[in-house]
Structure 1
Amino acid sequence: MNASLPGKGQPKKLLLIEDEEAIADILSYALRKEGYTVRSASTGAAGLRLLEQYQPDLLLLDVMLPDMDGFDICRRVASEHAIPIIMLTARDELIDKIVGLELGADDYMTKPFDIREVAARIKAALRRTQRHDGRSRIKLGERMHIQLDPAAREVFKDGHEIKLKPKEFELLLLLSEAPGRVFTREEILSQVWEMDYDGDLRTVDVHVQRLRKKLDTSLIDTVFGVGYKLRGAKP
C-alpha cells in the first residue's frame, strides 16, 4: 500500500486512541508497516491533546475509554476537524453503529477485527478525502449563493465559510455531482460511507436535515419514498 500524499511522498499521519495496550501495539506496528506514521494515546484526554499537536489525517477511536466516552470525543472531533474517524468497539450493537455514524464517524469496526480489513478501511476513508483534489468550486442553489470547494473541502454561503462535518460534506458533494438526479438512501450510504448498510437508513435523513439547517432549506429536495436530489448546480 502507498500511504503517501499524492505527489508529495509524505506518509499519511494516523492517530490511534485505544486503551488496550495489546491492540494499540498490534495496530500501530501493522500500520507503520503499511507506510503510515502512527501516534497513539491510551486515554481520551491524552488523545485530544495529541490531536491538536499532531494534526493527523485520520483518527482511529475506541468507543470505551477509561476517562471519556468515545462518542463524545467523536462528536467533538467531527465538529472541529475535517478528518475521517473510524470507531473501534467491542460492542456489536446496531444502535452503537447508528450513533457513531450520526455523530460524524466515517466507519465503525467491531473487535476482534482483521488487521487487513482495518488497513483497507483506512485506505478507503483517506481516498474519499482526496478524490476531488484539483476540481474548481461548484456553485449550488438557484440563487448561486452557495459554493463548494472540493479540493479544499470547504463550503461558503454568501462568502462566509460554513463548517460541515466530513460526512455532511461528502453527501453534499455527491448530490452536487448530478444535480436533479434522485439518489436513494441506499445509494447515498453506499457511495458516501462506502458500505453496505443493513440497518436503519435514518442516518441519511439526519445528515440531510443538518445540511438544510446549515445551508438552505430549499437546496435539497425530498423525493418521498425514494431519496433526495439537489437543485440546479453549475461548475
Structure 2
Amino acid sequence: MSPDLSIYTPREKVSPPLTPDVFHTKRILVVEDEAELQKLLLNILRRDGYIAVQAAGTVSHALELAKTWRPEAFLLDVMLPDGDGFELLRMIQKDNTSPALFLSARDEDEARLHGLGMGADDYITKPFLPQELLLRLNAVLRRTYTVPSVSHTVSIGSSQVNGAEHDLLTLGDVTIDFSTGIAHQVAQKNSQSMPKPIKDIPLTATELTILKILRDNRGIIVTTDSLMESVWGNSFGYENSLMVHMHRLRDKIEEDPSKPQWILTARGLGYRLAAPTAPSQTL
C-alpha cells in the first residue's frame, strides 16, 4: 500500500528565488527508498530553488554518491533496504563532514537522540510539512556555510591566537576554527619544543552554533530556552537534543568531559562558557 502523502503536499506553490543564493547551490543528497516520497522530496527542494539535488534509495548507492559527487548536505531516512541511516551516517562521516538531517517515521526519543548523538544536525519525524523541512534544512546550511564577517582574538591565560584570517577560539589545548568547523588539539607545551597539533576534530553545524552563542556571551549564563530558540528557532521539545549536543561537544573539547572546565552547567538555568581568566568547575 502506498503511503499517505497528503500531508507532504504544499498548500501553496513555493516560488524559487530568481537568483539562487549560496545555500541553494549546495549539493543535497536525499536518501529515501520509498519511490513516491523520494520524488516528492526532490520536488520540494527544487521548487524552493535548490539546483543541485540527487537521490539514492540504498546505502550502497548513497555511499557511491558520497564518494563521487561529494554532497554538501544529507537528508537520510533511517530504514533502508540494505541497512539503516544510522550506520550510513557513520560510514559517511569517515571522510565527509557535511551536515546531515534524519527523516524518519520513528519518533521514539531513543531513536531521535541516537541520531543526534551520532552527529546528525537535526532529526525530523515523518510526516512533516514541506515548509518545516525547508526551514530546518536552510537553518542547518546557514549554520554550516555562513562565512564569519568578524574575526576574533581570544586570550586564555598566557596563550593568544590571532584570528586575522580565521575565526578562532582557544580552550586549553584545543583551538576551534569556526571558519572551517575544525577543533585542533595540540600537545601541551614543554620546555624543549613548541606545541604541535596532534588531532583534528570536526564539529557539526549545531555544535558550532552552540559554541558561538556561548562564546559571544562568555562568562554569562545562557538559558536553556534561549539556546534552543537560537539554534532551532523553537524552545519547545528540544531540551533532550540540546543535552546530547552538549555531551558531544564536551567529548570533543574538554580534557575530562565528566568534569568540564570550559562548558559549564548552571543547574536549572542553562550553560555558560568559562571566562578567559581561568577554567573553573561546574556550578
Which residue is equivalent to 1:165?
203
TM alignment of 1:43-58, pairs within 5 A: 43-58=58-73
Give the length in aligned residue pairs: 230
Alignment of 1:183-198 (within 5 A): 183-198=222-237
Match of 1:90 among 105, 108, 124: 105
1:150 maps to 2:193: no
Deviates more, 1:128-137 or 1:180-189: 128-137
Q: What's the counterpart of residue 270 of structure 2?
A: 227
In structure 2, the gaps of 5 or more residues are 1-15, 160-172, 187-195, 255-259, 278-283
Task: State the match for 1:176 in structure 2.
Answer: 215
Q: How does 1:80-119 map to 2 (within 5 A)?
A: 80-119=95-134
Give the residue type in structure 2 aligned to 1:186: D
Alpha-carbon offset, residue 50 of structure 1: 0.7
Q: Distance in 1 between matches of 2:131 and 2:70?
A: 25
Query: Normalization by structure 1: what TM-score?
Result: 0.83
Alpha-carbon distance in structure 2 between the residues aligned to 1:140 and 1:45: 47
Residue identity in the other structure for 2:22: L
| C-alpha distance in structure 2 between counterparts of 1:214 and 1:21, whole Å | 38
Identity percentage of aligned residues: 32
Q: Which amino acid aligns with 1:84?
A: P
State which drifts further: 219-228 or 53-62.
219-228
Assess if the C-alpha contact under 8 Å between 2:182 and 2:203 holds in 1.
no
Q: Over alpha carbons, which structure has the higher Rg?
A: 2
Preserved CA contact (<8 Å) 1:154 1:162: yes
Distance in 1 of aligned mates of 2:157 and 2:249: 16
Q: CA RMSD in A?
A: 2.7
After alignment, is 127-136 or 41-50 more displaced? Answer: 127-136
User: Partner of 2:74 in structure 1?
Assistant: 59
Looking at secondary structure, tell me which structure has more helix per residue: 1
Deviation at 1:137, TM superposition (A): 5.1
Q: Is contact 1:149–1:155 with CA below 8 Å preserved after alignment?
A: yes
Alignment of 1:21-60 (within 5 A): 21-36=35-50, 37-60=52-75
Q: 1:80 to 1:192 in 2, by over 3 A?
A: farther
Q: 1:73 to 1:61 in 2, by over 3 A?
A: same
Query: Greater relative contact order (Cα 8 A, min sep 6): structure 1 or 2?
Result: 1
Code of the residue aligned with 1:207 in structure 2: it is: H
Moved more, 93-102 or 136-145: 136-145
Separation (CA, whole Å) in 2 of partners of 1:136 and 1:32? 35
| Structure 2 SS opposite 1:214 | helix
